[in-house]
Structures are given as C-alpha cells and as structure tokens.
Amino acid sequence: MTEPLDPNPVNGELAVREYFDSKTRRYLKRVITPELIEEHRCGPHAQHRSEPLGRLMFYLKNLPIDQQYALRLMPNGAYRITSIPKPGEPPVEVDGTDYPDPSAGLHGIFLRKINDLMGRQDG
C-alpha cells in the first residue's frame, strides 16, 4: 500500500531554480558598480558589450513574471513603473515617479530590479 499522493503537488523544481539563481546573484552582487549602471542608462536598448551587464540583463529578463515590472503610459504622457497585472486585477503602481520617456522608465525598472536583487539573502 502506497501513501496517498497529493493531487496538487508542489513543483520540486522551484527549490532547484532558487539554488541556481542564488549562485547567479552572488556573482552579480559583486559586479554591480556605478559604471555598470551608467552603461545601462546610456543605452537601455543597445547591445550590452560588457560581460557583467550582459549577464545581469539575462538574469533580470528571466525573472519569474511576478518579479517583473511594466511601464504604464499615463494620460499626461509620462510613464510610471507598475507591477505586471494578474488576471482580474489591475497593476499596482510601485511609486509615483514620472518618467519622461520609455528609455528613462526602462532604466528606472533596471534600478528597481537591482534594488530587489541586492535585497535578496543569498549567503
């Protein structure tokens, strides 16, 4: 007789990913510098030539969707950072900062994601 199985099992892969991501974050925390942030500010769309920024961008782009952000176009033409909406729920504005154009807003999201990253406890 086997034990009854949970019809809604927890995905064991989550723990494996967290192990991988924490290793990545430990590396990224060491390479985030004012120069790297400036490299992104100068060209959020551009080819990222430096390896540290490239690796950081890969990590940030591949975050789970509930850790991502969006830019919301406001009626006054400015852009604000919000959470990604969930089905049946509107997006949540993360702060009241107005960004004048998409590039500035994308850099704002970049800074916010770095802040999130630095706040993670990775040993």
Partner 1 sequence: MAEQKIFGYTDRLSVKQGDRLNIYVNCDGSDFADAQLVRLIHGDNNTEAGPGYIEREIPHPANGNWPVKKQFTQLGNYLTVEDPDQHLKLDGTLSMGAFIWPSMPKRGARQTIMGRWDTLTNEGFALGINPDGYLEFWVGDGKEVDYITSEMPLIKHVWYLVGVSFDAMTRTVTLYQEGVLNRYNSLIGTTTPYDFASHVRTRFRFSQHNRADVPFLIAGARDHHELRGNFVGDLYAGKIDRPFISERILTREEMDTVKAGHKPPADGLMAYWDTAAGYTDDGIGHDVVETGPYRLKTRGVNHPVRGMTGWNWNGKNDCFRLAPHEFGGIEFHPDAVTDCGWAVTKTIEIPSDLKAGPYAIRLRVGPGCGIAEEYVVFFVRQAKPTAKLCFLVPTASYLAYGNETLAFDAQIVQPMTGQPPIISDVEIETYEHREYGLSTYNHFEDGAGVCFSSWKRPIINMRPKFRNSWMGAPWQFPADLSVTAWIEHCGYDCDFITDDDLHREGLAALKPYNCVISGTHPEYVSERMLDAQEDYVAQGGRLIYTGGNGYYWCVNFDPEEAAVMEVRKLDSGMRAWAAKPGEHYLQTCGTKSGLWRNRGRAPQKLVGVGMISEGFETCTPFRRMPDSWHRTVSWITEGIEGELIGDEGLAYGGAAGIEIDRYDLALGTPPHTKIIASSGGHTDNYVLATEEILYAYAGMVGSLDYRIRADMIYYTSWNDGAVFSSGSIAFGQALPAKGFEGTTSKLLRNVVDAFLKDGPLPGRQWTLEEKQWR
Contact between 46 and partner 1 (CB under 8 A)? yes
Contact between 88 and partner 1 (CB under 8 A)? yes
Report the residue from 102, 111, 118, 120 that binds partner 1 according to the rule CB under 8 A. 102
**Nearest-approach distance from CB 69 to partner 1, in angstroms:** 6
Q: Which amino acid is at 59?
A: Y
* CA 78 – CA 98 distance, rounded (Å): 6
What tokens appear for 119 in the block?
A: 């706040």
Contact between 96 and partner 1 (CB under 8 A)? no
Contact between 33 and partner 1 (CB under 8 A)? no
**Nearest-approach distance from CB 35 to partner 1, in angstroms:** 21
* CA 46 – CA 54 distance, rounded (Å): 11
| CB burial string 94-121: b at 16+ within 10 A, e below | eeeeebeeeebbbbbbbebbbeebeeee
User: Could you list the residues that contact partner 1 (CB under 8 A)?
Assistant: 2, 4-5, 7-8, 44-47, 54, 57-58, 61-65, 68-73, 75, 79, 82, 84-91, 102, 105-106, 109
